[in-house]
Amino acid sequence: MSLTRRSTLRLLATTLTSAAVPRVVLAAAPTERRLVLIILRGALDGLAAVPPFFDPAYRQLRTTLGPGEPGSADGALDLDGGFALHPSLRAFHAMYKQGDAAIIHAVATPYRERSHFDAQDLLENGTLRARGATDGWLNRALGLMPRSDTRVGLAVGQTVPLVMRGTVPVGSWAAQTMPELNRDFLSLLSQVYKSDTAFDVAFTEGMRAHAMNDEVLGDEKSMGGNARGAQAIRATTSAIGKLLASADGPRVAALDIGGWDTHSAQNARLKQMLQALDDGLTGLRESLGAVWRQSVVVVATEFGRTAQQNGTNGTDHGTGSVVLLAGGAVAGGKVLGHWPGLAADKLHQGRDLAPTTDMRAVFKTLLLAHVGLPRDGIERAVFPDSRDVRALDDLVKA
């Protein structure tokens, strides 16, 4: 048998007394529900993703932007006779029709300025202010679960997004591109990192994550390594779906996709980006397999974009956008939320889709009704100041 990293780590675990190298513990996860948060960084234009063709102001605001009406060539995909879906979201549309996907329109976080970076910070820290907390709401939610030896949270990519950062250790996954390290060297490193806390913690978690990932993915761990764009996203979601599906794997994952800041050439750019997102969702559904039934994938963005297209066939920073939900546990086949209308006097500050649903209501509902966390804990630790934010009815299947 060749010495793979997996077996290497097992060997290490038995030969080193160091606590720096964890044992791969097989333990029951604290929940069987799966939750995946996909953050679209750069601000998705919700009016292009889910165009409201029924609103008489829509076409006046969007003279050249967005897909054609359902039925036209390359036109949008009809949802409910009113809203439609961007044609690049074909797989998501099929999920919607099967009752496995839903949309909440006119959603925003409590943030009302227009900086991407502050808006993302607030979306992830779960408070009412940018830099209102140094940890993320998803990590704090993990803290409400029964203690477990497994890493329930999974950060996708080389860095841990703020939403997943905090006191609860989380696993991580990123496509493998370089040769594996030999066990002698790993044990040297564990010694040399001992006295530098930040390196020690990161290395220990990194070893643990690689062991877990190898256990589940075996030789597939390098997939996505050299893929670009859509291919890379699909490969990534396929890998993390497998990790989430495994018995002692993670249950809650966060990943992000950049490239949504469409100030110009929006039609071409969104066509590509939404296709990549759609492929990513397909990859998740396929790799989650049977546990798709117990899964919710929530796709959110920091804010929406101006209702009126700008002067350069794009849109500028706005407020209300959409949240997309997919997964077998979603009570799907509907567009939720209260539609504020796009008439000039209905727009937020005369320019943006007015938000009528607080994004925290969506997250809160998923933590309550899907993951099964207690309300008081959510309102105390996960989303402080959210007592007045009502959970949404009928978002997940009973």
Partner 1 sequence: MSTPAFVALARFGLGARPGDLDLVARDPRAWVSAQLTRPGAMPRALSALGTGQQAAAEFTRIVRRGAAAVEQNIRQGARQAYVEEAGLRTQAQVESDQPVHERLVAFWSNHFTVSVQRPVILSLAGPFEREAIRPHVTGRFHDMLLAVARHSAMLVYLDQAQSIGPNSRIGMRRQRGLNENLAREILELHTLGVEGGYGQADVTAFANILTGWSIARAEDQNLGGFMFRPFVHEPGSKILLGRRFEENGEAEGIAALEMLARHPSTSRHIATKLARHFIADKPPPALVDRLAKAFRDSDGDLGHVTRLLVDSREAWETALTKVKTPNEFVVSALRACAPGFDAMRALGGLRSLGQSPFAAPSPAGWPDTADQWLAPESVMRRAEWAMALATRLGRDRDAQAVLDTALGPAARNETRTWFSRAASSTDALALVIASPEFQRR
Which chain residues interact with partner 1 by CB under 8 A? 41-42, 63, 113-118, 130, 155, 157-160, 165, 172-174, 177-182, 184-185, 188-189, 191-196, 198-199, 202-210, 258-259, 261, 263-264, 310-312, 314, 316-317, 349
Nearest to 325 by CA among 367, 380, 362: 362
CA 19 – CA 329 distance, rounded (Å): 39
Enumerate residues 6+ apart whose C-beta is below 8 A from 320: 46, 105, 106, 107, 108, 303, 304, 340, 348, 352, 353, 354, 355, 356
Report in angstroms how near the CB of residue 305 gets to partner 1 at its nearest.
Answer: 11
DSSP letter, residue 158 = S
Report in angstroms how near the CB of residue 328 gets to partner 1 at its nearest.
Answer: 29
Q: Which is nearer to partner 1, 80 or 113 (CB)?
A: 113
Report in angstroms how near the CB of residue 312 gets to partner 1 at its nearest.
Answer: 4
Q: What are phi and psi of 337, to 5 degrees?
A: 105, 165
CA 108 – CA 346 distance, rounded (Å): 16
Report in angstroms how near the CB of residue 265 gets to partner 1 at its nearest.
Answer: 9
Enumerate residues 6+ apart whose C-beta is below 8 A from 253: 34, 35, 36, 37, 153, 154, 155, 156, 240, 243, 244
Helix (H, G, I), strand (E, B) or coil at 398: coil
CA 75 – CA 152 distance, rounded (Å): 41
Q: Which is nearer to partner 1, 208 or 364 (CB)?
A: 208
Helix (H, G, I), strand (E, B) or coil at 101: strand
Q: Which is nearer to partner 1, 180 or 379 (CB)?
A: 180
Report in angstroms how near the CB of residue 392 gets to partner 1 at its nearest.
Answer: 30
Q: Which is nearer to partner 1, 125 or 204 (CB)?
A: 204
Q: Are 339 and 347 in contact (CB under 8 A)?
A: no
Report in angstroms how near the CB of residue 275 gets to partner 1 at its nearest.
Answer: 16
DSSP 33-92: -EEEEEEEET---HHHHS-BTTSTTHHHH-SS-SPPPTTSTTPPEESSSSBEE-TT-HHH
Q: Which is nearer to partner 1, 173 or 363 (CB)?
A: 173
Report in angstroms how near the CB of residue 362 gets to partner 1 at its nearest.
Answer: 24
DSSP letter, residue 314 = S
Q: Which is nearer to partner 1, 2 or 195 (CB)?
A: 195
Encoding tokens for residue 28? 């029951």
Q: Which is nearer to partner 1, 201 or 343 (CB)?
A: 201
Q: Which is nearer to partner 1, 196 or 394 (CB)?
A: 196
Report in angstroms how near the CB of residue 198 gets to partner 1 at its nearest.
Answer: 5
